[in-house]
Amino acid sequence: MTHEKLLARILLTRVIEPGDEVGGRWVREFGVGGVVRRLQEGGAALPGVSGKRWAGLVARAEAARPRQDLAAAQDAGVRFVAPGDAEWPAQLDDLGDARPLGLWVRGRASLRMWALKSVAVVGARACTEYGAHMAATLAAGLAEQGWVVVSGGAYGVDGAAHRGALGAGGATVAVLACGVDRPYPRGHTQLIGRIAEQGLVIGELPPGEHPTPSRFILRNRVIAALTRGTVVVEAAHRSGSLVTARAAQRLGRHTMGVPGPATSALSAGVHDLLRGEAVLVSDVADVVELVGDIGELGPDRRGPVLPRDLLEPVARQVLDALPGRGTAGPDAIARAAQTAPDDALARLYELRALGYVERHGDGWKLTRQAVMSVRDARGPC
């Protein structure tokens, strides 16, 4: 990309709001240079906007100072990555006309390479201790397995996810709804600084720009498009993290939810997702099995191995044939175990040596150890 085209794109980041599909269509149809020329000429409006709105866009273009923005960014250690650049993540092109004009990137890593194996972890700002714990645990586990954790840098679940990844010595990306040189929220200035040192801080807005409610919502489409899947940890019915999840669904990405208490309003939005197309996840293995490459599967879901599981099948059958209370004779045990009396008797002596049964006269009964083993095998009611 030539320097002039770079400056033209930077100018448009001052004029066109993130996610503006009308502006994106102009760029696709007329090219960046063509749109900038029309704005600077101040002539007839481009299609799709009123005269009043066009006048506002022209005024924005007149006030834009792309060379100053680029210089300010470079002074802050920030670079501008545009579509077509080697570092541009191609999956953002799935957004169509809502694709970012470019991204301001703070940090040393390659955004394109990191995005190839990334998962979004998002959720409520006012999360519970449970939500913060789950977000941090999932993020740390993902980071330990080589996944990049992407979130929005906000309070609550976002912050817990970033901290979990950083604490595990892993990679994390914060997608901001403001200039990347102006950390928001202010209370996360130190955290976002750590992310910039160990990971990446990215955003669509030029240096110095402040966040607005609409910019937060539109930022979420970038989180959804950038990653292989989105995990929602705690979200009320109107949570912005649900916007991220629904954007992920529209883009054909995996959508996952961590269930919470049925009585928690902060999990109501997640439960709605789970009643739809989202997949329930409870740990890192669940997430990796869903978003990972072929062969990158989670472990089999099994309970702990109990001592009785190590018995030979016939011995287990004989053990299961004994009554829960009282005694039984060898013939009755053999019939219940579907084996010969001599074999059943041999297995009973074997089980006695292992501490599972004891002999009372001509009958046999379970020891306390065996009763507890059977209960553990059957699980709670």
Q: Is 178 helix (H, G, I), strand (E, B) or coil?
A: coil
pLDDT above 60 for 304: no
AA identity, residue 53: R
**Other CB atoms within 10 A of residue 24 CB:** 18
Alpha-carbon gap, residue 69 to 112, rounded angstroms: 23
Alpha-carbon gap, residue 345 to 103, rounded angstroms: 76
Q: 222: phi > 0 → left, psi -120 to 50 → alpha, else beta; which?
A: alpha
pLDDT above 80 for 375: no
Output the pLDDT for position 381. Answer: 41
Output the pLDDT for position 60. Answer: 95
**Taking residues 231-250, what's their average pLDDT?**
94
**Taking residues 41-60, what's their average pLDDT?**
92
Where does the chain have alpha helices with state H? 3-15, 21-41, 51-63, 66-75, 111-115, 129-144, 157-167, 189-198, 213-226, 240-250, 268-275, 284-291, 313-321, 330-337, 341-353, 368-378
Tallying the residues shown for the chain, one arrives at: 381
Nearest Cα to Cα of residue 131 among 98, 105, 154? 154
Which of 190-204, 289-303, 357-371 shows the lowest per-residue confidence on average (mean pLDDT)?
289-303
Output the pLDDT for position 372. Answer: 66
Q: Is cis: bond before 304, omega within 30 of 0? A: no
pLDDT above 50 for 147: yes
Output the pLDDT for position 210. Answer: 93
- Residue 121 backbone dihedrals phi, psi, to 5 degrees: -125, 110
pLDDT above 80 for 301: no
- pTM for the model stands at 0.79
Output the pLDDT for position 313. Answer: 85
Q: Is 84 exposed, middle or buried (0-12, 13-18, 19+ CB in 10 A)?
A: exposed
Cα 164 from chain centroid (whole Å): 12
How many Cα atoms occupy the beta-carbon half-sphere of 198 within 13 Å?
A: 20
- 174 close to 151: Cβ distance less than 8 angstroms: yes
Distances (CA, A) of 190 to 159, 161, 167: 11, 15, 14
Output the pLDDT for position 269. Answer: 95
Q: DSSP states of 290-341 as a string?
A: HHSPTT--PPP---PPPGGGGS-HHHHHHHHHS-SSS-B-HHHHHHHHTS-H
Output the pLDDT for position 43. Answer: 78
pLDDT digits (tens, 9 = 90+) for 253-297: 999 999 999 999 999 999 999 999 899 999 999 999 999 875 555
The tokens describing 298, both together, are 């989670």
Work out the pLDDT band at 305, boundaries 50, 70, 90: low
**Other CB atoms within 10 A of residue 139 CB:** 31
**Taking residues 76-88, what's their average pLDDT?**
95
Residues 6+ apart with CB under 8 A from 338: 317
**Taking residues 28-43, what's their average pLDDT?**
92
Output the pLDDT for position 324. Answer: 82
Q: Is 18 helix (H, G, I), strand (E, B) or coil?
A: coil
Work out the pLDDT band at 303, boundaries 50, 70, 90: low
**Taking residues 305-318, what's their average pLDDT?**
76
- Residue 24 backbone dihedrals phi, psi, to 5 degrees: -65, -35
Supply the mean pLDDT for the chain: 91
Output the pLDDT for position 316. Answer: 86
Percentage of residues in the chain with pLDDT exceeding 70?
A: 93
pLDDT above 60 for 369: yes
Output the pLDDT for position 74. Answer: 94
Output the pLDDT for position 310. Answer: 72
